[in-house]
Amino acid sequence: MSQGISRESHPHVLVLPPVTTQAFVTLATNDMYCQGALVLGLSLRNHKTSRKLVVLITPEVSSLDVLSRVFDEVVEVNLMDSEDYIHLAFLRRPELGVTLTKLHCWTLTRYSKCVFLDADTLVLHNIDELFDREELSAAPDPGWPDCFNSGVFVFQPSLETHQLLLHEGRTRGRDPVLYPAQRVSRIHELEPGDKGAR
């Protein structure tokens, strides 16, 4: 610990993990989303975040050099597609098929806690206070009453949780309402006043 404070001499001192063990995480599945991720990363930097910035990318992304100038870590992951073309066509949102790729964020176990932000999110002020939230904190999705909006959520990386979510996705089918990243039993809703990210 810094400044000569030790747990032995001050047993009631709460020792918080260094913020470098926490990270904002986003996902870019192609070069178009890469542009959004860059704007997101710069908006976090401009508002003086003290956390690491991590971007998950798929092999289709070619802008590695540019991303590595803004993000502390660039992690390549395989694309996960729901292949649920019928439901996605009904929703007129074919791009949502690859949102399952977000599940890779639970494999970032070198971090104690993370906040996932979609690549089309823009940060308007410092939002580091989101790390004070419990897993899994997220805003409700107005279109699906029993789901949360997976564009912004607080989570704790865990390989066990990752495997459980993958299992949930395989056993529940491909109905968008049942996307495993949106069906976690303990969800702590973010207040409507949490306006730092849009």
For residue 134, what pLDDT is reported?
85
Residue written as token pair 């308007």: 124
pLDDT at residue number 119: 94
**Which amino acid is present at 101?**
T
Task: Read off the pTM.
Answer: 0.73
**For 76, phi and psi rounded to 5 degrees?**
-85, 130
* Topology given in CATH for the domain delimited by 15-189: Spore Coat Polysaccharide Biosynthesis Protein SpsA; Chain A (3.90.550)
pLDDT of 53 reads 97
Output phi, psi for 107, to 5 deg. Answer: -85, 0
Residue numbers in the chain where pLDDT is lower than 70: 1-19, 80-99, 141, 143-148, 169-198
Domain-by-domain residue ranges, the chain?
A: 15-189
Q: Look at residues 12, 42, 7, 10 and name the one whose alpha carbon lies nearest to residue 24.
A: 42
- Give me the count of residues in the chain: 198
Pairing of strands 22-28, 52-57: parallel
- What whole-number percentage of the chain has pLDDT above 70? 61
Check residue 1 and give its pLDDT: 32
Q: Residue 79 class from Cβ within 10 Å (0-12 exposed, 13-18 middle, 19+ buried)? A: middle
